[in-house]
A and B are shown apart, each in its own frame.
Chain A
Amino acid sequence: MAELVEVPAPPHDAVLGQIAELRRIAIVPALNEEETVGRVIDELRAFDPGFDIVVVDDGSTDRTAGIAADRGAHVLRLPFNLGIGGAVQTGYRFAFEHGYDIAVQVDGDGQHDPTQLPAILAPVVAGQADLCVGSRFASGSGYQSSFTRRLGIRLFALVVSAVVRQKVTDTTSGFRAVNRKGIALFAADYPHDYPEVEATIMCVKHKLRLLEVPVEMRERGGGASSITALRSIYYMTKVLLAIFVGLFRRYAVPLEKEHRR
């Protein structure tokens, strides 16, 4: 199976050249990110103006949706907070319905740096992976998150690595790229809370090829993380339960779902 790719990120222009012909979209989930969402959109445009951008506003009470719309992004305003899983899936549904070939997911809080997208896109464009995840722990540099969160993330990494029989270091990273297969899978089925953990397992169970590449993340630009200490315990219990039950589930390969378009 695929291991961590240790090669340096391919040059910016090479990846941009390869994706120039593809219909590509950036999915930006955002909850009360008025301070950062504008900058994220600008940075995505600066990286590659050919990316369509869809901001999924997960029931924000601030100006997130307005700011995103003013900058010309597609904005999907959810009527109430669905949680990160439901919000992200809305973005993938949009990508699926509109026939995009490739999608990247970039958080609206500014912790993902779009200039690192070539590293994540390259394996997907080259056909080495269906889902490529940017891991902040594979490189060991950049922003690493707080101690307790790292501990939880480490625990998930151990469990997930064991389940998918492949080394995974950052199961909570929402910085990733998927091809059409991945878009179709995530549009059809996506987990709810702390979804990246389950989504990783789901991908492997559906025989999608997963690859992790090292990236550096930044500290959140503004707003507050939606995860507090007590809730983390609740989520960890819930996700571990979901992983455990998931072991007993049989998954159908959903690639034929295309005809629903």
Chain B
Amino acid sequence: MTPLPVSIASAVASFLLLVVVFELIRSRRLRERYALLWLLTGGVLLALSVWRDGLNTIAGWFGVQTYPPAILGAIGALFILVVLLHYSTVISRLSDQNTILAQRLALLEQQQREGVTESPR
């Protein structure tokens, strides 16, 4: 069985995560698009902290008999992996776009320097 203090601590921590993410969106420092995964992480962890029987059941599925909260850590780690992977794709897209911007800028500068008015098609 999950010790009560562990449940309380993880419930408080995941609730804090939700509050911080909410505040970041509200103050426009985090876009909704990138907040969804964090909210899902916080939501799932909060649900499993509060719903202690559920956590025990899930622990049972994986043969974890002695210490069910280990599942909380595992699920947390899984979500962090997903968030990181998501960010890797975001960074890849940003760096592609950055390349395109730099190339466009170089072309524009050349046109401006050489006084080309009609852009070639």
Q: A66-B121, A80-B97, A80-B100 are in contact. Are A245 and B36 (CB under 8 A)?
A: no
In the complex, how many residues of chain A place their beta carbon closer than 8 angstroms to a beta carbon of chain B? Answer: 13
A5 to chain B, nearest CB (A): 33
CB pair B33–A193 under 8 Å, yes or no, is yes
* CB-contacts of A223-261 with B (<8 A): 237-239, 241-242, 245, 248-249
**Cα A64 to Cα B23 with chains together (Å):** 41
B35 within 8 A of A: yes
A238 touches B121 (CB 8 A): no
Residues of B within 8 A of A241 (CB): 25, 32, 35-36, 39
Q: Smallest CB–CB gap between A216 and chain B, Å?
A: 33
Bound CA span A242–B34, Å: 12
Q: Known: A66-B121, A245-B25. Is A79-B100 also a contact (CB below 8 A)?
A: yes
Question: C-beta contact mask, A166-193 vs B, less than 8 Å → 1, else 0?
Answer: 0000000000000000000000000011
B95 CB → nearest A CB, Å: 12
Residues of B within 8 Å of A192, CB to CB, are 31, 33
Least distance between B25 CB and chain A CB atoms (Å):
5
A245 touches B22 (CB 8 A): yes
> Which residues of A are in contact with B by a Cβ distance under 8 Å?
66, 79-80, 192-193, 237-239, 241-242, 245, 248-249
Give the 3 A-B CB pairs with smallest separation, nearest first.
A245-B25, A242-B32, A79-B104
